[in-house]
Amino acid sequence: MTGKGADANGVVSQSNTAEELTPLALARRQTWYPAYGILGALTSLAAILLPITMADARLPPSHIGMVMSSLSVGVLLSPLWGRLADRTRAYRAIFSVGFILVGLSFAAFCVTRSPLVWALVALLQGVGVAAVSTVASLLVVVSNSRSEWDQHIGWLQSYNTAGQVAGLALAGVLSSTQGLQLAAALSLPAILLAFRVSCDGAKSPLGARSATALAASTRLTRRTELFTRTPFHALDAPLLIADLRQLALSRFGRFLAGWFSLTLATSAFFSLYPVMMPRVYGISAQLVAELYAVAILFTLPLYSLVGRWSERFGAGRMLRIGAGARALAFLALGLLAFASFSAASALVLASFAALQGLWPFLGVSATDLSARLSKFGEGAGIGILNGTAALAGAVGAVVGGLCAGHFGYWSVPFLGAAGAALCWLLSGRLIPHGMRARSVS
């Protein structure tokens, strides 16, 4: 199969996709793929090791939640990075800057023990992750022909997922200090790879194309529209209030409220689970990290399967299945905190694995519904969904820390169950039976 690819100077050239589109070939030809894979490993190491490090330093749960919340706050800058990239065309430079911020953050984590400094450093890391994640997909757009976008996006996400699995596996066998030192060391080759991306071409080939050339109705285009469209009237207060009122009373608003509650509750749990699992259930964080890595691997085939089910039975039904089952898994974890029978540990591990195993039901259906229900356009709908999730993640980490500090770590799974149950309730009849249109009037 023959396709067209754009070189660093904006020249579109022929490439034999069947022969060259392999992990090794991509790593040689487009160095942001392995760099993005290292980012997956770094983010996984941070998610496991930062809470453990803070707990070892005897920080209270509220401080742990504050630091983990800072990561999500930094990711909120993703749309700003996208707008900057669109205006300057400096995709590769932004990619390098993002990795420099991530590398500096891990170096700082190794030399400080102040909660306030940790929070600022976590914010810096979130900003860097936002820059790299945003521009990585845009680099696919500007460096390949439209017919190859989806295929390359699939490879890009595969690199990142493989990095996540590797990071979780490493977190399972290393102490928190060793893990942070390894993350700081891994940041160096990632920064070098990012600089190589910059050297490959300072100017994006997007400048050689018309602006409308990327406006085709593809899945990737709809994802990147959130960086170029403003869903609300930003400067006209009466129109903004009218838009918000319309949103709040719509099916889209009900869906967003449910997604916010689910994401908040999930963030509260996953910000603290490396500390919670040993203290509440007597299960080491290392074992949980290994289980998490295995669960991610087993969910990979589910995405396409859930996509087909969503087309057949409806995205709303898939969302309710995922939210309802996740509520039951959280509830089981909460109840098992008081269990003392021999099989309790196995049930805890099974319930924890189910939380990750249910993600394809939630991720696929939420993306579909945000585009289907939005009255502001598909890209804007997905952008609003991402912003809602980032805000809920930041709030959830703080709420989880406060809940654990006031009641105890055992209470956090019950918070998760309540948030998932509320999402299940609000997700009823989002799309009337038989409606297949891409928008709801």
CATH number, domain of 175, equals 1.20.1250.20
| pTM, 2 dp | 0.70
pLDDT for res 29: 62
As a whole number of angstroms, the distance between CA 38 and CA 48 comes to 16
CA distance to 99, 268, 389, per residue, from 326 (Å): 34, 14, 17
- Let me know whether 298 and 165 are in one domain: no
Final residue of a domain: which of 228, 262, 291? Answer: 228
Measuring CA to CA, which residue among 42, 55, 61 is closest to residue 104?
Answer: 42
pLDDT band at residue 243, thresholds of 50, 70 and 90? low
- Let me know whether 402 and 384 are in one domain: yes
Domain count, the chain: 2
- Let me know whether 236 and 131 are in one domain: no
Is the per-residue pLDDT at 131 higher than 60? yes
211 within some domain: no
pLDDT for res 95: 85
Q: Which residue did the predictor score with more confidence, 176 or 233?
A: 176
As a whole number of angstroms, the distance between CA 71 and CA 119 comes to 8
| Helices 91-111 and 115-143, packing angle to 10 deg | 160
Most confident of 78-82, 125-129, 188-192: 125-129
Measuring CA to CA, which residue among 102, 9, 57, 7 is closest to residue 275?
Answer: 57
Q: What tokens appear for 242 in the block?
A: 């009218």
Residues forming beta bridges with residue 296, ordered by sequence position: none
- Let me know whether 369 and 314 are in one domain: yes
As a whole number of angstroms, the distance between CA 424 and CA 318 comes to 11
Is the per-residue pLDDT at 377 higher than 90? no
Mean pLDDT throughout 310-315? 83
Measuring CA to CA, which residue among 401, 172, 199, 114 is closest to residue 295?
Answer: 172
Q: Give the least confident one: 33-37, 235-239, 289-293, 427-431.
A: 235-239
- Let me know whether 237 and 179 are in one domain: no
pLDDT for res 263: 94
Q: Give the least confident one: 202-211, 280-289, 400-409, 410-419.
A: 202-211
Mean pLDDT throughout 144-149? 65
Mean pLDDT throughout 359-367? 85
- The letter for the amino acid at 395 is V
Is the per-residue pLDDT at 132 higher than 80? yes
210 within some domain: no
- Let me know whether 223 and 252 are in one domain: no
pLDDT for res 162: 83
pLDDT for res 140: 72
Is the per-residue pLDDT at 260 higher than 90? yes
Q: What's the whole-number average pLDDT of the chain?
A: 76
Q: Which residue did the predictor score with more confidence, 300 or 253?
A: 253
332 within some domain: yes
Final residue of a domain: which of 228, 262, 295? Answer: 228
Q: Which residue did the predictor score with more confidence, 33 or 30?
A: 33
pLDDT for res 211: 33
Measuring CA to CA, which residue among 171, 173, 152 is closest to residue 163?
Answer: 171
Final residue of a domain: which of 177, 196, 228? Answer: 228
213 within some domain: no
Mean pLDDT throughout 335-347? 91
- Let me know whether 223 and 241 are in one domain: no
pLDDT for res 18: 37
Q: Give the least confident one: 46-55, 133-142, 156-165.
A: 133-142
pLDDT for res 236: 45
pLDDT for res 9: 34
- The letter for the amino acid at 389 is A
- Let me know whether 263 and 224 are in one domain: no
Neighbouring CB atoms inside 10 A of 221's CB total 16
Contacts of 110 (CB under 8 A, 6+ apart): 177, 180, 181, 184
pLDDT for res 279: 92
Is the per-residue pLDDT at 438 higher than 80? no
Neighbouring CB atoms inside 10 A of 344's CB total 17
- Let me know whether 290 and 409 are in one domain: yes
Q: Positive or negative CA dihedral for 355, 358, 359, 362?
A: negative
94 within some domain: yes
Measuring CA to CA, which residue among 275, 272, 265 is closest to residue 393?
Answer: 265
- Let me know whether 179 and 301 are in one domain: no
Query: Could you write out the DSSP letters of every residue in 393-429?
Result: HHHHHHHHHHHHHHH-GGGHHHHHHHHHHHHHHHTTT
214 within some domain: no
212 within some domain: no
Mean pLDDT throughout 105-125? 87
- Let me know whether 153 and 54 are in one domain: yes
Most confident of 176-180, 247-251, 287-291, 419-423: 419-423
As a whole number of angstroms, the distance between CA 70 and CA 127 comes to 10
pLDDT for res 215: 33
Q: Which residue did the predictor score with more confidence, 271 or 370?
A: 271
pLDDT for res 72: 81
pLDDT band at residue 222, thresholds of 50, 70 and 90? very low
> For residues 379 and 223, is the Cβ–Cβ distance under 8 A?
yes
Neighbouring CB atoms inside 10 A of 343's CB total 10
- Let me know whether 159 and 282 are in one domain: no
Q: Positive or negative CA dihedral for 412, 326, 324, 158?
A: positive
pLDDT digits (tens, 9 = 90+) for 34-90: 888 888 888 888 888 888 888 888 888 888 888 888 888 888 887 778 778 878 888
433 within some domain: yes
> Could you list the residue range(s) of the whole structural domain that residue 412 is in?
232-441
Mean pLDDT throughout 319-348? 93
pLDDT for res 226: 30
